[in-house]
């Protein structure tokens, strides 16, 4: 797109993590721009009313609903006496992902935006704050940018992740195409804006899922996850135990035995994996059952590889098909269990790999192990996990903005305004999904809608 939005937006408030990768001991979130002080006034508690004149203050950082998120040290610099020449605050907090992302979330709620590489310096320069001697430092900025690029390259090599990122990108372009059609071709497609609901919801969900996996990945010992799922009584726990070669999960003929997911380390192809046993997918009515299923979805979102365990004496169920439709895009295979039983149905012919086993009797487990290993080797270094915290945080923020967009649509906000908001989301995601230009959106408009009276 031929305009410099990066610079155009130099009047808004930006933030960035000024310290290295999380988790770490202390993290610094730097905020620069007109709303920096407003943020401090709203979110800082400690020692009476906060005013920018208090250059350094110790207290709590609270969320918009007033809960304490962390104890922090708050530094403030009044314009023009700051690095950027704008109002600046620095929030020194604990370097945990949860704390930093919660703080970032509050910043976004104030309309702040994650800074691009070099943006702080750019502002400094614009405001006459960068002298000749600082020129040297610009070199460092490029280094910083290179690391970001490395991250992107890394992500590009990860096939599983690419599939999902591509899906998000497609969804967002489609959304933009619908919103633009609603404006530019309103005489031909009067009510098309309603069609925006689905891509809004789906892209929000996908963004959230990728970001959630990042979180899980960070919190866990950074191992990729292999998730077992399927209907109650399919034999997930039995397979779990068989793969671990020990009796870890309770196996019982009562459907719904496993309530909470359990995970154990598993060495596969020279790599440590987390093997996860989940609650059965039941079209349950009770809240608890429903939560169990929701949780399985979360686990699948965060999985690098998943195995659908099917009771081979019963065949596919509705919810298993749903699951394949939903998560079929990521590496998985199907285990057709209970081969030892008389009522065992022949495994179906599918594009997916289907392995017939008996988890209890030990039949076919050898073969399953081999197939798993090959499949995992094919994944290469792929983990389905984003390489950087910034990217995860942009996705998380986008997910929440996309949900806002849905309520805007309900409130009857016109498509031209929704379009501007979605464009802003696309821009903020360009480091993750890549630049999306007007032409690409138009391509989609013409491919999808028969334009031209």
Ligand X SMILES: Nc1nc2c(ncn2[C@@H]2O[C@H](COP(=O)(O)OP(=O)(O)OP(=O)(O)O)[C@@H](O)[C@H]2O)c(=O)[nH]1
Which of the stretches 233-241, 264-272, 297-305, 397-405 binds Mg ion when contact is defined by CB under 5 A? Answer: 233-241
Of 106, 203, 238, 390, which one interacts with ligand X (CB under 6 A)? 238
Nearer to ligand X, 183 or 360 (CB): 360
Q: Find which of ligand X, other proteins, Mg ion, none residue 452 binds, CB within 5 to 8 Å per kind.
A: other proteins
Q: Does residue 222 belong to the site contacting other proteins (CB under 8 A)?
A: no
Site for other proteins in 129-188 (CB under 8 A): 130, 132, 135, 138-139, 141-142, 145, 180, 183-188
**Rule CB under 6 A: is residue 255 a binding residue for ligand X?**
yes
DSSP state letters, 122-189: HHHHHTT---GGGHHHHHHHHHHHHHHHHHHHHHHH-HHHHHHHHHHHHHHHHHHHHHHHHHHTTTT-
Q: Per CB under 6 A, does 233 bind ligand X?
A: yes
- Map residue 274 onto helix, strand or coil: strand
336 near ligand X, rule: CB under 6 A: no
C-alpha dist (Å) from residue 299 to 204, 268, 354: 17, 19, 21
Q: Which of 76, 92, 116, 233 binds other proteins (CB under 8 A)?
A: 116
Strand partners, 268: 271
B/e letters for 292-321, b = 16+ CB within 10 Å, e = fewer, are: bbeebbbbbbbbbbbbbbbbbebebbebbe
Provide the β-strand partners of residue 62: 68
Token code pair at residue 246: 């020990």
Across the beta sheet with 68-77, the strand order is 44-45, 56-62, 68-77, 88-95, 24-32, 14-17, 113-114
Selection from other proteins, Mg ion, ligand X, none that 337 binds (CB < 5 to 8 A by kind) is ligand X
| Residue 386 Cβ vs other proteins, minimum distance, rounded to whole Å | 21
Q: Using the rule CB under 6 A, is 148 a contact of ligand X?
A: no
- Give which of ligand X, Mg ion, other proteins, none residue 256 binds (C-beta under 5 to 8 Å, depending on kind): ligand X
Dihedral sign for Cα atoms in the order 105, 106, 111, 112 = negative
Strand partners, 31: 15, 89
Hey, is 383 helix, strand or coil? coil
Binder of ligand X out of 13, 258, 388, 391 (CB under 6 A)? 258
User: Is 257 a residue that touches Mg ion (CB under 5 A)?
Assistant: yes
Residues 270-309 touching Mg ion, rule: CB under 5 A, are none
Q: Which of the listed partners (ligand X, Mg ion, other proteins, none) does 441 bind, with a CB threshold of 5 to 8 Å by partner kind?
A: other proteins
Residue 121, contacted partner among Mg ion, other proteins, ligand X, none, CB below 5-8 A by kind: other proteins
- The contact pattern for other proteins, residues 6-25, with x = CB under 8 A and - = no contact, is xxxxxxx-------------
Residue 26 interacting partner from other proteins, Mg ion, ligand X, none (CB closer than 5 to 8 Å by kind):
none
Preceding peptide of 80 cis, ω within 30°: yes
Q: Please give the size of the binding site for ligand X, defined by CB under 6 A.
A: 24
Which residues touch 226 (CB under 8 Å, ≥6 apart)?
A: 266, 268, 273, 274, 275, 276, 303, 304, 305, 306, 307, 372
Q: Which does 235 bind (CB under 5 to 8 A by kind): other proteins, ligand X, Mg ion, none?
A: ligand X
Q: Which residue is nearest to ligand X (CB)?
A: 280
Select from Mg ion, other proteins, ligand X, none the partner in contact with residue 191, using the beta carbon and a kind-dependent cut-off of 5 to 8 Å. Answer: none
Give the closest residue to 405 by CA, choosing from 89, 127, 175: 175
Which residues contact ligand X by CB under 6 A?
A: 230, 232-238, 251-253, 255-258, 280, 337-338, 340-341, 358-361
Which residues contact Mg ion by CB under 5 A?
A: 237, 257-258
Which residues contact other proteins by CB under 8 A?
A: 1-12, 116-119, 121-122, 125, 130, 132, 135, 138-139, 141-142, 145, 180, 183-188, 411-414, 416-417, 419-420, 423, 435, 438-439, 441-442, 446, 450-453
């Amino acid at each position: 797109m031929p305009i410099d939005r990066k610079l155009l937006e130099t009047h808004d408030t930006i933030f960035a993590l000024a310290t290295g990768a999380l988790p770490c001991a202390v993290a610094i979130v730097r905020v620069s721009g007109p709303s920096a002080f407003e943020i401090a006034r709203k979110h800082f508690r400690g020692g009476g009313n906060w005013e920018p004149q208090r250059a350094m203050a110790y207290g709590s950082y609270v969320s918009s609903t007033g809960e304490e998120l962390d104890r922090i040290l708050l530094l403030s610099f009044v314009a023009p006496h700051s690095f950027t020449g704008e109002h600046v605050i620095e929030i020194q907090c604990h370097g945990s992902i949860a704390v930093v992302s919660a703080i970032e979330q509050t910043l976004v709620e104030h309309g702040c935006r994650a800074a691009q590489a070099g943006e702080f310096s750019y502002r400094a320069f614009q405001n006459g704050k960068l002298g000749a001697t600082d020129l040297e430092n610009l070199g460092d900025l490029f280094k910083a940018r290179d690391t970001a690029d490395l991250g992107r390259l890394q992500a590009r090599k990860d096939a599983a992740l690419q599939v999902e990122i591509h899906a998000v990108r497609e969804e967002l372009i489609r959304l933009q195409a619908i919103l633009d059609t609603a404006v530019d071709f309103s005489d031909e497609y009067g009510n098309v804006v309603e069609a925006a609901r689905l891509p809004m919801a789906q892209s929000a969900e996908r963004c959230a899922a990728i970001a959630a996996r990042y979180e899980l990945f960070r919190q866990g010992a950074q191992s990729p996850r292999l998730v077992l799922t399927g209907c109650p009584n399919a034999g997930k726990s039995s397979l779990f135990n068989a793969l671990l070669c020990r009796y870890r999960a309770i196996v019982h003929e009562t459907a719904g035995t496993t309530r909470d997911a359990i995970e154990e380390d598993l060495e596969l192809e020279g790599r440590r994996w987390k093997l996860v046993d989940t609650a059965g997918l039941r079209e349950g009515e009770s809240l608890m059952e429903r939560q169990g299923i929701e949780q399985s979805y979360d686990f699948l979102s965060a999985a690098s590889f998943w195995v659908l365990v099917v009771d081979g004496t019963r065949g596919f169920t509705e919810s298993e098909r749903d699951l394949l439709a939903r998560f079929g895009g990521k590496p998985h295979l199907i285990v057709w269990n209970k081969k030892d039983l008389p009522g065992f149905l022949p495994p179906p012919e599918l594009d997916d790999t289907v392995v017939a086993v008996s988890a209890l009797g030990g039949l076919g487990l050898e073969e399953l192990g081999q197939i798993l290993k090959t499949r995992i080797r094919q994944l290469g270094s792929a983990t389905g996990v984003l390489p950087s915290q910034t990217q995860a945080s942009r996705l998380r923020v986008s997910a929440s903005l996309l949900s806002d967009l849905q309520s805007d649509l309900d409130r009857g906000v016109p498509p031209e305004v929704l379009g501007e908001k979605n464009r802003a989301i696309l821009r903020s995601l360009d480091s993750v999904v890549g630049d999306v230009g007007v032409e690409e959106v138009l391509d989609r408009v013409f491919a999808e809608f028969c334009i031209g009276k």
